[in-house]
Chain A
Amino acid sequence: GENVEQHPSTLSVQEGDSAVIKCTYSDSASNYFPWYKQELGKGPQLIIDIRSNVGEKKDQRIAVTLNKTAKHFSLHITETQPEDSAVYFCAASLGGGSNYKLTFGKGTLLTVNP
């Protein structure tokens, strides 16, 4: 089955700096790659996703890039703010939409220091 590796496990940045989280996946048939943000005591929340026919997608301060050849994708957060502090999870699935099981990475604890 699919295996998703996520790095780093913890990341500490100064407010205003950029943060990058990287994931690799094993199944070349995977074609849907979402990112989730989980705040303490809450369920994960979808923040951005990308499909295999797109190399990059941007939404304000958040961007995701996908390299299908290398089987890796990355989350980029620019101009970080303290409220960006949370655990971030990458995931991969075989589905073209949202109706197949996702395989998650182990998460990255991002701390933005004011």
Chain B
Amino acid sequence: GAGVSQSPSNKVTEKGKDVELRCDPISGHTALYWYRQSLGQGLEFLIYFQGNSAPDKSGLPSDRFSAERTGGSVSTLTIQRTQQEDSAVYLCASSSFGTDYGYTFGSGTRLTVV
């Protein structure tokens, strides 16, 4: 597609429920990143996928967070047993290996845990 697409744009969930956030990267981009943006804070790195390499999961805050990328394209970020502190905007970005274009971000999913 023309840009990075994220769905849903907004998600309200009850504490303790599981949620899945989806990211469709730009076609042909081999690198995909998830970041979290809390109110008034910068962007916190969560996980990075590059081609067929093992993902860099060093930013995942707890074992309730996981992500996968199927077929080198679409990615899903799953948060199990959501907590109120998980409320944030979750941003996905993709980039093309070997170019100088930098990241292209999606518009994010605003997650609210009530």
Tell me the dominant secondary structure on chain A's binding face.
loop
Residue B1 interfacial (CB < 8 Å): no
- Contacts of A45 on B, CB cut-off 8 Å? 105
Q: Which residues of B contact A99 (CB under 8 A)?
A: 30-31, 50, 95, 97-98
Q: Looking at the complex, which of A14-22, A66-74, A78-86, A101-109 is the stretch in contact with chain B?
A: A101-109
* CB-CB under 8 A for A89 and B100, given A43-B106, A43-B108, A101-B56: no
Closest to A6 in B: B42
Q: Which residues of A contact B104 (CB under 8 A)?
A: 46
Q: How large is the interface on B (under 10, 10 to 19, 20 to 34, 35 or more residues)?
A: 20 to 34
B102 touches A104 (CB 8 A): no
Distance, CA A91 to CA B95, complexed state (A):
15
Chain B residues closer than 8 Å to A105, beta-carbon distance? 42
Q: List 20 A-B contacts (CB under 8 A).
A: A4-B42, A6-B42, A36-B105, A41-B107, A43-B91, A43-B105, A44-B91, A45-B105, A46-B104, A98-B102, A98-B103, A99-B31, A99-B50, A99-B95, A99-B97, A101-B45, A102-B33, A102-B43, A104-B42, A104-B43
